[in-house]
């Protein structure tokens, strides 16, 4: 586990971002869907206990890159990944790696909330059950409670843990999905436009949550909202047509980007 103390995080933040160690390293990552190439030699590193935002016009390969980080691309027919990606020095595309274990370490939250058609409790307990993270009922209860608390949902649902998760509002469903991901204690959480299906109030709650989660997790978030990237992230990576255009501190990215294309995109000149 990679839980830093609150103080350590604050301290890390106070230092220049560059000194934070890398959690994941992507080197010359290219992705092909059949004949079509969707990513071109992307070199992007993900820093520990940092929120990294991926931005860029739609179809530029943000989701594709995100999915390479926990090998969700494996589930897509005809999809091929080249290059090297490591998680704490382990090459995640090594044939000996266990994908199932990898996905337990690198969790994922999707664009559309997708709770299972089960109770709230069973949704959160799903991961711990398949990975055998707890034995007794009490252990499970505790995992469920703390996960829901981390996702800021516990107080809203504590009286109806055994009602279906699909009965919650959209924003609550998305926070349930975050709780579900948190419950298996991943090291990295990937989020693909987690707020795009939510109203502004629910979005604000999820953003606040992302901010808090950073203490314990490394987060990579795809977003099409510049304001959101500016609000929640410390590092931002800009993609364009399958290429990584620029990666920088978020503050710098939105005030004084190095690349003209980034500037154009942020000013809303394309995309």
Ligand X SMILES: Nc1ncnc2c1ncn2[C@@H]1O[C@H](COP(=O)(O)OP(=O)(O)O)[C@@H](O)[C@H]1O
Residues forming the site for another protein (CB under 8 A): 70, 72, 75, 77, 100-104, 107-108, 110, 112, 114-118, 126-127, 130-131, 177, 180-181, 184
Residue 53 CB, shortest distance to ligand X, in Å, is 13
- Taking the C-alpha atoms of residue 69 and residue 242, their distance in angstroms, rounded to an integer, is 16
Residue 231 CB, shortest distance to ligand X, in Å, is 20
Residues 36-55 binding ligand X (CB under 6 A) are: 36, 38
Residues 172-211 binding ligand X (CB under 6 A) are: none
Token readout for 179 is 């709780």
What are the backbone dihedrals phi and psi of residue 155, each rounded to the nearest 5 degrees, phi first?
-65, -30
> Which residues in 17-29 are b (16+ Cβ under 10 Å) and which e?
beebebbbbbeeb
- 222 neighbors 63 (Cβ within 8 angstroms): yes
Residue 219 CB, shortest distance to another protein, in Å, is 15
Interface segment toward ligand X; rule CB under 6 A; list 18-26, 57-65, 112-120, 158-166:
57-65
Residue 76 binding target from another protein, ligand X, Mg ion, none, CB below 5 to 8 Å by type: ligand X
- Taking the C-alpha atoms of residue 127 and residue 133, their distance in angstroms, rounded to an integer, is 8
- Is 242 strand, coil or helix? coil
Residue 64 binding target from Mg ion, ligand X, another protein, none, CB below 5 to 8 Å by type: ligand X
Interface segment toward ligand X; rule CB under 6 A; list 30-38, 103-111, 123-131, 205-213:
30-38
- Which are the contacts of 144, defined by CB distance < 8 A and separation ≥ 6? 121, 124, 125, 161, 183
Q: Which residue is nearest to Mg ion (CB)?
A: 63
Residue 60 binding target from ligand X, Mg ion, another protein, none, CB below 5 to 8 Å by type: ligand X
What are the backbone dihedrals phi and psi of residue 206, each rounded to the nearest 5 degrees, phi first?
-65, -40
| Residue 80 binding ligand X, by CB under 6 A | no
CB-nearer residue toward Mg ion: 239 or 254: 239
- Taking the C-alpha atoms of residue 20 and residue 249, their distance in angstroms, rounded to an integer, is 12
Instruction: Compute the CA torsion angle 16, 22, 23, 26 (nearest 10 deg).
Output: 130
CB-nearer residue toward ligand X: 63 or 250: 63
Residue 72 binding target from Mg ion, another protein, ligand X, none, CB below 5 to 8 Å by type: another protein
Residue 224 CB, shortest distance to Mg ion, in Å, is 8
């Amino acid at each position: 586990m990679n839980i830093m103390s609150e103080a350590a995080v604050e301290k890390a933040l106070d230092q220049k971002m560059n000194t934070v160690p890398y959690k994941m390293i992507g080197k010359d990552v290219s992705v092909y869907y059949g004949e079509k190439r969707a990513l071109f030699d992307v070199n992007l590193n993900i820093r520990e206990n940092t929120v990294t935002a991926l931005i860029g016009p739609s179809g530029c390969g943000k989701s594709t890159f995100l999915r390479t980080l926990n090998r969700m691309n494996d589930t897509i027919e005809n999809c091929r990944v080249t290059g090297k990606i490591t998680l704490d020095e382990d090459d995640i595309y090594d044939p000996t790696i266990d994908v199932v274990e990898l996905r337990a370490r690198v969790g994922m939250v999707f664009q559309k909330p997708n709770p299972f058609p089960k109770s709230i409790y069973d949704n959160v307990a799903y991961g711990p059950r398949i990975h055998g993270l707890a034995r007794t009922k009490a252990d499970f209860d505790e995992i469920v409670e703390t996960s829901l608390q981390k996702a800021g949902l516990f107080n809203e649902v504590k009286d109806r843990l055994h009602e279906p998760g699909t009965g919650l509002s959209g924003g609550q469903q998305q926070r349930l999905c975050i709780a579900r991901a948190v419950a298996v204690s991943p090291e990295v959480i990937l989020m693909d436009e987690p707020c795009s299906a939510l109203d502004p109030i629910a979005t604000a709650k999820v953003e606040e949550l992302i901010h808090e989660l950073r203490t314990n997790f490394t987060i990579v978030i795809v977003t099409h909202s510049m304001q959101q990237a500016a609000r929640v992230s410390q590092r931002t990576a800009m993609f364009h047509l399958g290429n990584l255009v620029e990666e920088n501190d978020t503050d710098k990215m939105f005030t004084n980007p190095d690349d003209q294309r980034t500037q154009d995109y942020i000013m809303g000149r394309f995309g």
